Structure 1
Amino acid sequence: MEIRKVAVIGAGVMGAGIAAHIANAGVPVVLLDIVPPAAENRNTLAEGAVQKLLKSDPAAFMHPRNARLVTTGNLEDDLALVADCDWIIEAIIERLDLKQDLYQRLDQVRRADAVVSSNTSTIPLQALVAGLPENFAKNFLITHFFNPPRYMRLLEITGGEKTRPEALEAVSRFCDHKLGKGVIHCKDTPAFIANRIGIFWMQVAVLEAMEMGLSVEAADAVMGKPVGVPKTGVFGLLDLVGIDLMPHLMKSMLDALPEGDAFRAKAGMPDLIATMIRDGYTGRKGKGGFYRLNRSHGQKLKESIDLASGEYHASVPANLASVKASARGGLGALIGHPDQGGQYAWRVLSQVLAYAAALVPQIADDITAVDKAMRLGFNWKFGPFELIDQIGAAHFAEKLATDNQPVPALLQQAAAAGGFYRVQDGQLEYLDTAGPYRTLERPEGVLLLEDIKRASQPLLKNASASLWDIGDGVVCLEFTSKMNALDPQILELAMQAIPLVKSRYKALVIYNEGSNFSVGANLGLLLFSANMASWQQIESMIEAGQNTYTALRYAPFPVVGAPSGMALGGGCEILLHCDAVQAHAETYMGLVEVGVGLIPGWGGCKEMLQRWVTNPKRPGGPMPPVIKCFETLSTATVAKSAQEARDYLFLRPQDSITMNRERLLADAKASALRLVEGYQPPEPVEISLPGPTALAAMTMAVHDFHTMGRATDHDVTVSLALAEVLSGGDTDMTETLDEQALLALEREQFMQLLHDNHTLARMEHMLETGKPLRN
């Protein structure tokens, strides 16, 4: 079966978020909720939810127009709207009686083959379908989304004994391909996988920090980067999700978990947390949490709570030798360090990792499902079994035994075998619960560079980039520098790749598996060179970037960009020069150079002008394309999704979007291969620009902004340099400008700005703080 229309029942935070993300996939969705007592507008809950979604930050919709795909209604008047839906998702309050009453009503109106699923993670599936018709049970699943549904990639799914395999497969495929989810098939156990382990981890981390007398900063410094957890650590994470959720999570877990489960011994609510919740200190959504911003005396001071006294004080970053040791020696060095940080790391990880090992195969058939669930559901860099391997399975088991802690059978098995994972003949294998190692199989249509790198050697390689053969005559250019910042070595390797691809291959894909495609040019290198007054070296680097991007643009083979995450500055510019872009849905593109006192210098101005001038939907006349470019670039506009990137012409109609990050490389490769037959490089484009007429209009607008206090003095300087390039310089509409003329304008204005101390101050501030300086 194919899912073409979906209904969501329950317009709360989760239900509404799920509906929004289904709309993001271009699929019509019905959103229904109850009629509140005495409501004038009977659809107020569903309609209000959509309005909240449109204002949410981060945005729930990938584009505001996606809200048009959501049809709102109520359960009394509009239940018939689900009659033509292929999948109906229940996301109402966690009460079995209310859910079963709803299911009885849904069964009267749904199609016989329509799938119904619940978003619950606390009520067993058998209980949900008890007493319901056989056909309903055959088409019933649990689909557990994580909040916020657009951004959290994990979807835990399970069926019952009677569930049709076709129903499970149809929903799994839809969630994978259309919603971009990492679909984990788990067993029908309390809290499934991620919450079962993740909530245990948070609770243990909090209790151990309190018992040891640690500061929240010290605890988060340990339970953050050193163990591969987001920098929030555990206390920062609780502030983010809401401390007031903890009692509800504890209760739901205790109600469902079997007697003897290790979680039960840790499920108490500390008095401090109960007091914080009572007084409204529930985290970022409340007065504050374990951290808060004190805005008294006209300043913002970050404070943290003392876990013993409950008093707030100025937040002081932790300075732990164990954390420094982990940067050099990894996880083993952390848990083996004698200071408080090392002791804390061991006390938490020993319990959490052993708990995870004791739960397999109870909660999942294999360890890979558990590791992936924790990576996608809690944003851990490594799953629990990957962490054990970093420590060493045998060492971890031995250390547990030394502490008189039980050693789970699966861990004993791994210790004897040499670990939970191994590489054999270039293939990643995992330890099966039944004994032997099994090859980790990827789903059809998933191609990962990490697998290719494990099994082969690069065609070309330097300190900042590599070139890989990804099969079928396609090669992949991978950035490997810090944050994938573009530097001379990346440009050099890209130029070396062109003759190699021309002689031996069919196409090139530009892709990497970092969190961000590229944050732009290496700002530190640029600032260093400017401070050394190495102007010739800088100009050579700018020219090298322009030449490299131009060479890619006119290469005798297709070049496809495949970004995910941030693609900013020079990272955006390289994509603008590709024949096609296969973008992950969560791609954030923008030419943001004005934020550091510069303008796009690697062909970004030229490419954006060409796109707007030749855009068939542009307003008439010579000025609108230039003004559109100026508005986008002078405000450092960043598209908040790949869909939104089309509005700014960062992406074109022929560019495509992949919802699932793991399918991006395979999709980009397929896109490149489609272009191979009969491929001819594009012809260079010449355009006419208004010159001084456009410059005067943009100058007037900039000075108006300055007068209104919306632009600083240096904003004016940078904007006028940008206006000079976009206007075309000393030209008019009777002349044509070729690409080299536009690139020369970019270089000239870029170099002038780089000589300005205000620009250097902006660059230095960005490198130090990660935030733009308005000077």
Structure 2
Amino acid sequence: MVRSTFESIGKEVIMSAQIEKVAVLGAGVMGAQLAGHLANAGIPSLLFDLTPELARKGIDTLTSLKPAPLYKPKNTQLITPCTYDQDVERIGEVDWVLEAVAERLDIKEQVYQTILPHLKSTAILSSNTSGIPLAALTEPLPDEVAERFLITHFFNPPRYMRLLELVKGPTTRPEVYDQIAEFGRTVLGKGIVHAKDTPNFIGNRIGVYGLMVTIQTAIKMGLTVEEVDKLTGTLVGRPKSATFRTADVVGLDTLAHVARTSYERGETDPERDIFKNPPILDQLLESGRLGQKTKAGFYKKEGKDILSVDLETGEYGPQKRVRFDGYRLAKEHQKVGDKIAALAFSEDKAGQFFWEILSRTLIYSANRVPEISDTLYDVDRAMRWGFGWELGPFETWDALGVERVVDRMQLEGKPVPDWVLQMIRTGRKRFYTLQDGVSSCYQPQTKTAEEIPTPPETIFLSLEKSKGKCVRRDWSASLIDLGDGVLNV
């Protein structure tokens, strides 16, 4: 179990807290899977919904969803279906209340008011919201509850997506925040990213920006759905679902909702208009083609054939074979950074397209620090752990060569962020450095490199290699001495 101690405000009393049981509010697809993943970790939970049927249905779906949310089907035995009318008193049994109801502030507020009288004084309350401001969520809460409140944004499906974005408010106790971070990392196996109370936090802010830029650039340059997915998938270290297939899997209604949040709450974002729906997305939404769940979106399966949509007309047709010189050049390389560079600097249509979406995403990411995150590495981690990128934006920039990328951006009149130019002028050529077992990352606010903290229970092989512990290596593998008579291949 994760244990922590904290001193109550204004009192010389030491209170101990441990997370042994959790209440999950909302038995929809996400809430049920969160209860399921808690069960995977051996943590019992109470799964609440409006009716016994809805709560039970949430549990039952865990054994049929794909990919499987549970390590073992019998893990459902750790989940108890509950309703607010019949079982709300049981909220007093739990150490953490994890709210995952519909993304409407009025619904969340109503649920909070229902459970507050039964919340024990040491219990933590958090929301899995993906876009509602923390300040709005805590406004109606009593001060003593707001001190124990934070946002815990899990990515779907929670068993498989490593990312957990944490957002604390100005009154959130540091001990509460640290306890959830430790529990998420050591018990739930999550990669913790420290986000700020900004629209869509880190992962969805950068990821959806990149996706919308990709769609709009594809339309402008006349690329097909299948051409874009060929260039933005495993070739460049992204998931096999690439761009349009990812949108279909997520749901086009969900994509539009997340984009709308960035637009509506992004009054100060110079690139706000990117988050407006392109005409093809509106056309698909209006016709009820929402992606995988409606069997039609950017792709549509007819018999044994998978058709792709025409981005101009909205009509489906057979996929065409994709052939680009840039694709062939990228395939010749082994390392993902080299593949990205080969494609981005290719002179054909594929290279021009990929450079445009990549360079804009790199610039956008750099301009969002420190707005959405205080560190570059949290931005990179969010994209690796939440979107399945092999390299985050700043890791990609390093792989391509910071100066090389900046030179081309300036040649084309693209607005390179001032702090990146200042970094280069100081003689620093990379965002990341790795030396003598220490990994450091440039910090724009302090204009210095700062060591990246590493969890004590984790071994990073790249750090061990930099300590000179590589016994032997060839093109395919390395033999590393980890100490205590242990070798790693």
Asked if Structure 1 and Structure 2 have the same fold, meaning a TM-score greater than 0.5 normalized by the shorter chain, the answer is yes
Match in the other structure for 2:302: 294
**3-state SS in 1 of match to 2:167:** strand
Find out whether 1:279 has 2:287 as its counterpart. Answer: yes
Partner of 1:198: 207
Tell me, what secondary structure is at the counterpart of 2:323?
coil
Q: Residue by residue, what CA displacement relative to the aligned partner does 1:167-216 show, whole Å, maximum 9, x if unpaired?
A: 11111111111111001111111111000000101100001001110011
Show CA shifts across 1:96-126 (max 9, x none).
Answer: 2222232223221011010000111212112
> How far 1:459 moved relative to its partner?
2.5
Task: Quote the Cα distance in structure 1 between the aligned partners of 2:50 and 2:322.
Answer: 49
| RMSD, aligned α-carbons | 1.7
- Distance in 1 of aligned mates of 2:62 and 2:100: 16
Structure 2, unpaired ranges of 5+: 1-16
User: Counterpart of 1:429?
Assistant: 440
Alignment of 1:318 with 2:322, yes or no, is: yes
Report the 3-state secondary structure (helix = DSSP H, G, I; strand = E; otherwise coil) of the residue aligned with 1:269: coil
Q: Does 1:54 align with 2:63?
A: yes
Question: What is residue 261 of structure 1 aligned with on the other side?
Answer: 270
**Does 2:98 correspond to 1:94?**
no
Cα distance, 1:460 vs structure 2: 4.1
Q: Give 1:47 shift.
A: 0.4
1:305 to 287, 309, 312: 309
User: Is contact 1:118–1:142 with CA below 8 Å preserved after alignment?
Assistant: yes
Contact residue 394 and residue 414 of structure 1 kept, 8 A: no
What residue in structure 2 maps to residue 444 of structure 1? 456
Q: Within 5 Å, give how 1:456-467 maps onto structure 2.
A: 456-461=468-473, 464-467=476-479
User: What secondary structure is seen at the aligned counterpart in 2 of 1:430?
Assistant: strand
Tell me what 1:27 maps to. Answer: 43
1:395 corresponds in structure 2 to 404
1:331 aligns with 2:343: no
Residue-by-residue CA offset, 1:213-243 (whole Å, 9 max, x unaligned) = 0011211122123432112211111122112
2:173 counterpart (158, 164, 172): 164
Aligned match of 1:270 = 278
Q: 8 Å contact 2:167–2:195 — kept in the other structure? A: yes
Q: 2:140 aligns with which of 111, 122, 131?
A: 131
Post-superposition Cα deviations, 1:354-384, rounded to whole Å, max 9, x if no partner, equal 0000011111111010000100000000000
Q: Residues 116 and 426 from structure 1, CA distance in 2 versus in 1: closer, same or farther, beyond 3 angstroms? A: closer
Q: Return the offset for 1:332.
A: 2.8
Pick closer, same or farther for the CA change 1:324–1:415 going to 2, 3 Å. farther
Partner in structure 1 of residue 4 of structure 2: none
Is this contact kept in 2: 1:100–1:129, CA < 8 A? Answer: no
1:163–1:465 Cα change, 3 Å: same
* Aligned partner letter, 2:222: G
1:470 paired residue among 471, 474, 482: 482
Q: 1:462 to 1:322 in 2, by over 3 A?
A: closer
> Could you state the TM-score of these two structures normalised by the residue count of structure 1?
0.58
Higher relative contact order (CA 8 A, sep 6+): 2
| Aligned-residue offset at 1:319 | 1.0
How much does 1:455 deviate?
2.6
The one-letter code matched in structure 2 to 1:303 is: L
Asked whether the 8 Å contact 1:360–1:410 carries over to 2, the reply is no
Q: Please list the CA deviations of residues 650-702 of structure 1 after superposition, one character each: whole Å capped at 9, or x if unmatched.
A: xxxxxxxxxxxxxxxxxxxxxxxxxxxxxxxxxxxxxxxxxxxxxxxxxxxxx
**Counterpart Cα distance in 1 of 2:96 and 2:398:** 40
Out of 167, 173, 184, the position equivalent to 2:193 is: 184
1:560 match:
none
Match of 1:343 among 352, 362, 379: 352
Mapped pair 1:215 → 2:231: no
Cα deviations across residues 299-355 of structure 1 (Å, max 9, x unaligned)?
Answer: x12322222232222222311101122234533332222211111111111111100
**Which whole-Å CA distance do the structure 2 matches of 1:189 and 1:65 have between them?**
39
Larger helix proportion of the pair = 1
1:339–1:64 Cα change, 3 Å: same
Structure 1 unaligned blocks of 5 or more: 36-42, 479-775
- Deviation track 1:13-35 (CA, whole Å, cap 9, x = no partner) reads 11111111011110110000113
Query: Is 1:17–1:148's contact at 8 Å kept on the other side of the alignment?
Result: yes
Which one has the bigger strand percentage?
2
Trace 1:719-738 onto structure 2 (pairs within 5 A): none
> Which aligned pairs between 1:112-151 and structure 2 lie closer than 5 A?
112-151=121-160
Instruction: Count how many residue pairs are aligned between Structure 1 and Structure 2.
Output: 465
Cα distance in 1 between the residues matched to 2:342 and 2:424: 19
Residue type at the aligned position of 1:420: F
The amino acid that maps onto 1:431 is: Y
- Identity level (%): 38
Normalising by structure 2, we get a TM-score of 0.91
C-alpha deviation, 1:464, in angstroms: 4.9
Contact 1:236-1:290 within 8 A present in 2 as well: yes
Aligned partner letter, 1:276: L
Q: Is the CA contact 2:126–2:152 (under 8 Å) kept in the aligned structure 1?
A: yes
Structure 1: distance between partners of 2:470 and 2:268:
53
Partner of 1:238: 247
Secondary structure at the counterpart of residue 189 of structure 1: coil
Q: 1:136 to 1:457 in 2, by over 3 A?
A: closer
Q: Distance in 2 between matches of 1:91 and 1:111?
A: 19
Larger Rg: 1
What are the residue-to-residue correspondences of 1:501-512 with 2, within 5 Å? none
The residue type equivalent to 1:14 in the other structure is M
Contact map agreement 1:429 1:437 (CA 8 A) in 2:
yes
CA distance in 2, matches of 1:130, 1:10: 21
